[in-house]
Amino acid sequence: MFTESPQNLKNFIISKTYLEYAQWLLRDIENLISYSSKPVIATRYGEIEARFEAIQAIINKADEVNQSNSLKLQEPFRIHYAYTISFYAYEKYEFSRCMQEQDIEDIDFALVDIFRSAIETNTLYQSYLPPDHYESYLCKAACIESQAFIDSYQTNLLSSEGSLSNREGAAEAMDIFEKTFQMIDSDVYRKKEFQALCSTSKHLSIDHAAFNRFQKILKIYIASLYRESQTQLTLFLLIQEHSKNMANADISDDELSLAIESLEKFESKLVEVSACSVTTAIVLCEVTLKLSNSLDEDLQLDMLRPASNFDELFNSLEYNYLSNLPVTMEAL
């Protein structure tokens, strides 16, 4: 990939970024329909339908840009494109059934397929990347979390005992995000990507201020993923404790109600944390496209379920913790 010319690399990054933009906007729809009541979804039904049409236009734009990719770089593009189409189809399916009254099947085969597709996509794309590229680390973390979800999902359906897979997956992903954050400043491929994106700029030398902003938003994005995994880990521990309480015959009704209320409050926190990750990812996509003068303003969209505390992430405990870690380099 990095043996290609700057122009070819730039074109590939643009095409892939449009697909990632579409994926995160689909995640925004997922946050809205998964955690909203039917009356709320009903009032925004037309807005959500229009959003799917807008996302399809973004996917079409990515495919259009890909036509100018070199044959070598069209291969990794097709990996991301196939997953984006599958994710789009799944969210359309979820949207169509979220207003239906019938009970959801015990096993959501479509959801499991999406996580399996995510593992396949990240594994295949990782094979195109240098092992010390920051995205290689992110692919590894995504595979771990997706596999942990599948293992835990199947275990919970077949057993009355909770699975440790989600806990272990979230903890392992956090370790990888720490390593990813630590390597950003020394990642030579990151600078090559920036130079490729700015290849049409009149500046002959690198714009260090712009590059530092480019790096900062990536670090914020990684910090948001770290916080989301950390929040999920805490939620899994609460669920495990809740399961023990449910099995305790001596627990009082008041204690049980308090435990359920605590769990529900934390689940609502997870929604906000997820929205923050989506917001950060979308900003990262927009910054990348703006650097290359490739952001089509007609395709720029506001979030349906925006984060209310996005600005807090810049001074969050997670970002400060990751920023103060000693720099170490480990191969995956």
pLDDT in tens, 274-327: 999 999 999 999 999 999 999 998 899 999 998 887 778 888 899 999 999 886
Instruction: Read off the pTM.
Output: 0.90
Residues 6+ apart with CB under 8 A from 95: 29, 33, 48, 52
Closest C-alpha to 128, from 61, 186, 80, 183: 80
For the chain, the average pLDDT equals 87
The answer on pLDDT for 105 being more than 60 is no
Average pLDDT over residues 220-235: 92
Pick the more confident residue, 228 or 151: 228
Pick the more confident residue, 80 or 254: 80
Pick the more confident residue, 166 or 107: 166
Lowest mean pLDDT: which of 16-20, 147-151, 307-311? 307-311
The answer on pLDDT for 137 being more than 90 is yes
Confidence grade of residue 265 (pLDDT, cut at 50, 70, 90): confident
Query: Rounded to whole angstroms, how far apart are CA atoms 126 and 132?
Result: 11
- pLDDT > 90: percent of the chain: 63
pLDDT for 207: 84
pLDDT for 114: 95
Confidence grade of residue 157 (pLDDT, cut at 50, 70, 90): very low
pLDDT for 42: 92
Confidence grade of residue 256 (pLDDT, cut at 50, 70, 90): low
The answer on pLDDT for 332 being more than 50 is yes
> Distance from first CA to last CA of the chain, Å, rounded?
19
Average pLDDT over residues 190-199: 93
pLDDT for 100: 76
Closest C-alpha to 277, from 110, 142, 187, 78: 142
The answer on pLDDT for 242 being more than 70 is no
Closest C-alpha to 181, from 130, 218, 145: 218
